[in-house]
Amino acid sequence: MARNPISIEVLETLDAIERRGSFAKAAEELNKATSAISYAVQKLEEQLGISLFQRLGRRSVLTPAGRLILAEGREILQTTRRLADKAKEVATGWEPRISIGIESLQSYVDFFQVISAFLLEFPTVEIDISECVLNGGWEALEQGRVDLLVGAPGPVPSLKGYRAVVIERGELVPVIAANHALAKQLDNKQNTERLLAQLRRIVIHDTSFSGITRSEGLSSDGQMFYVQNMDQKIHAILAGIGIGNIPKHRIQGYLDKGILLPLGIQQKGGVESFLAWKINNKGKGLKVITDRFIALQSSK
């Protein structure tokens, strides 16, 4: 009697409903009929004896209880998915998926070479790339959301069981949009230094949820404009909102066409950049990738 009414499937259904905004859209995403969704929700509501959606006409809004199940349900979903992956890894030694977080300031051209070769050789391993920012990357590693960090900024958190290797950051170019109001006045060094203080800095804000946040900005004077990722930063600069450092390879096209202009200022060394993973991660795929990338770095 009274068995657990919550199933993985219905949690996936709730997740889809919330993400897509309606039963119908969720049904489409899950390749089901709307009625199937409707019945699934009804069944759960009936078995729990509570309502999860407040029906307001054709639109449904989650009740507090519904929100709770959705929020915790998503964690459960993630846990089970990871569990399936981990089990496969234990059985075969090979992880079915490797999640890689790349620091937004990091140039990843070389790294993608390694990944490309790896995928040719081991096509069954999925690679999941995400962009992360400053301490958000370390946090993701700690929580197991990523297996490998590329270009994470030092210092390396100690006593957490991480293995970290210094890698090249890649070339960062401070740029301004050619159509920026002050762009024409930046023709010589003297002017540049004088105007620099007046230019707004586009800064990527830390994505760290808990823990200490920090920002990448170097100097603290002048105005800041905060964005959440490198794409937004590039677009903010293109729109003439301000200036900022960008990995050269990501804006080569704009530089060639003269849409973005490099600022003739000296770049400070900045913090070191690390390749990092957990020591207790024994995945064979991870080992291949890190070994090869380190070899490539040191051969330069």
Partner DNA sequence: CCCCATTGTTCTAATAATTAGAACATATTA
Partner DNA sequence: TAATATGTTCTAATTATTAGAACAATGGGG
Report the interface residues with its own copies, using CB under 8 A.
Answer: 3-9, 12, 48-52, 63-66, 68-69, 72-73, 75-77, 79-81, 83-84, 86-88, 90-92, 96, 210-212, 216, 220
Phi then psi for 200, rounded to 5 degrees?
Answer: -75, 140
Spatial contact of 185 and 169, defined as CB atoms under 8 Å apart: no
Taking CB under 7 A as the binding criterion, the range among 19-27, 107-115, 128-136, 181-189 that sits at the site for DNA is 19-27
**What is the per-residue burial (b if ≥16 Cβ within 10 Å, else e) of 219-252?**
eeeeeebebeebeebbebbbebbbbbbbbbebbe
Nearer to its own copies, 15 or 110 (CB): 15
Percent helix / strand / coil, the chain, rounded to 5: 45, 20, 35
Nearer to DNA, 28 or 142 (CB): 28
Q: Which of 104, 72, 77, 62 is nearest to 216 (CA)?
A: 104
In the complex, the smallest distance separating the C-beta of residue 111 from DNA, rounded to whole angstroms, is: 40
Q: Taking CB under 7 A as the rule, does residue 39 contact DNA?
A: yes
Spatial contact of 122 and 288, defined as CB atoms under 8 Å apart: yes
Match 């960008």 to its residue by tokens. 246
> DSSP E strands: which ranges in the chain?
53-56, 59-62, 97-103, 126-132, 148-153, 162-167, 172-177, 201-204, 224-227, 244-247, 260-262, 273-278
Nearer to DNA, 41 or 263 (CB): 41
* 253-258, Cβ contacts within 8 angstroms, sequence gap of 24 or more: 254/175, 255/173, 255/175, 258/178
Question: Which entry of DNA, its own copies, none binds 6, CB below 5 to 8 A by partner kind?
Answer: its own copies
Question: Which entry of DNA, its own copies, none binds 214, CB below 5 to 8 A by partner kind?
Answer: none
Q: Which of 153, 177, 237 is nearest to 201 (CA)?
A: 237
In the complex, the smallest distance separating the C-beta of residue 209 from its own copies, rounded to whole angstroms, is: 11
Q: Taking CB under 7 A as the rule, does residue 19 contact DNA?
A: no
Q: Which of 210, 209, 225, 105 is nearest to 153 (CA)?
A: 105
Taking CB under 7 A as the binding criterion, the range among 27-35, 103-111, 182-190, 206-214 that sits at the site for DNA is 27-35
Q: Taking CB under 7 A as the rule, does residue 42 contact DNA?
A: yes
Q: Taking CB under 7 A as the rule, does residue 149 contact DNA?
A: no
In the complex, the smallest distance separating the C-beta of residue 169 from DNA, rounded to whole angstroms, is: 46
Nearer to its own copies, 6 or 127 (CB): 6
Interface with DNA in residues 114-143 (CB under 7 A): none
Q: Taking CB under 7 A as the rule, does residue 4 contact DNA?
A: no
Nearer to its own copies, 29 or 272 (CB): 29
Taking CB under 7 A as the binding criterion, the range among 16-24, 74-82, 187-195, 261-269 that sits at the site for DNA is 16-24
Q: Taking CB under 7 A as the rule, does residue 38 contact DNA?
A: yes
Which residues bind to DNA, rule: CB under 7 A? 9, 22-25, 27, 31-43, 53, 55-60
